[in-house]
């Protein structure tokens, strides 16, 4: 019997077009979720920097660490600027995952920028330190500390090392600054390597 003679047969036939398009729809949905997540991380970091700038200004004015929001478990300790790139960011105390979600962190156990030894700042490669690959030997880096002191550094070079084999010595002679982020800069999965941009304080 034909479908024309029996209309109910058409209604009972499986919709093969819907089944065929289901994988494509699932891929599109997964892509939208990933795009949303990728956009949210930089957006959150950018918004946080507005609040951190406010808190750092109060820190400089009042001489005591001011939390950027009431539930924050860290305070701003410095502002780092890359004059050649037209970028500056407020640095938080500590390098925990929570701190790095909002800004660069001053790695525990290292001196403040400008003090004897090696100060280390770390940040994510897809937010504040995404431009580290554009810094070259001779480029200036400026750091304003929470006590209002400004220290100028000059990039001496950069290198890639495993996270557990950086060779960084916080007690090294001289006044050094090292900026650290994940490597490769454009990778989307975590890895063991880190990019280290090294600088020395100007006299």
Residue ranges of domains in the chain:
34-201
pLDDT > 80? residue 190: yes
- pLDDT value of residue 2: 46
pLDDT tens column, 21-73:
655 555 555 444 444 444 445 555 666 788 889 999 999 998 888 888 888 88
Average pLDDT over residues 170-176: 97
With beta carbons less than 8 A apart as the criterion, state whether 127 and 89 touch: no
pLDDT > 80? residue 200: yes
User: What percentage of the chain exceeds 70 in pLDDT?
Assistant: 77
β-pairing, 117-122 vs 105-106, is antiparallel
Which positions ≥6 away from 170 have C-beta within 8 Å? 109, 110, 111, 117, 118, 120
- pLDDT value of residue 14: 54
Instruction: For residue 136, name the pLDDT band (cuts at 50, 70, 90).
Output: very high
pLDDT > 50? residue 86: yes
What is the Cα–Cα distance from 114 to 95, expressed in whole angstroms?
Answer: 19
Class of domain 34-201: mainly beta
Alpha helices in the chain (DSSP H): 7-12, 16-62, 97-100
- Name the phi and psi angles at 162, rounded to 5: -65, 150
- pLDDT value of residue 36: 44
């Amino acid at each position: 019997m034909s479908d024309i003679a029996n209309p109910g047969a058409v209604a009972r036939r499986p919709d093969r077009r819907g089944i065929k398009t289901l994988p494509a729809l699932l891929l599109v949905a997964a892509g939208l979720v990933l795009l949303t997540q990728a956009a949210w991380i930089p957006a959150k970091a950018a918004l946080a920097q507005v609040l951190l700038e406010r808190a750092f200004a109060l820190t400089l004015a009042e001489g005591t660490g001011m939390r950027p929001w009431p539930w924050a478990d860290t305070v701003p300790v410095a502002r780092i600027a890359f004059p050649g790139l037209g970028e500056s960011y407020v640095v938080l105390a500590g390098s925990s995952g929570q701190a790095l979600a909002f800004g660069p962190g001053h790695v525990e156990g290292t001196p403040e920028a400008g003090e004897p030894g090696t100060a280390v700042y770390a940040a994510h490669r897809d937010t504040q330190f995404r431009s580290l690959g554009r810094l070259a030997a001779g480029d200036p880096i400026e750091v304003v500390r929470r006590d209002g002191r400004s220290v100028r550094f000059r990039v001496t070079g950069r290198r890639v090392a495993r996270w557990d084999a950086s060779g960084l010595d916080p007690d090294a002679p001289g006044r050094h600054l090292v900026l650290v982020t994940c490597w490769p800069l454009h990778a989307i999965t975590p890895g063991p390597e880190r990019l280290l941009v090294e600088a020395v304080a100007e006299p």
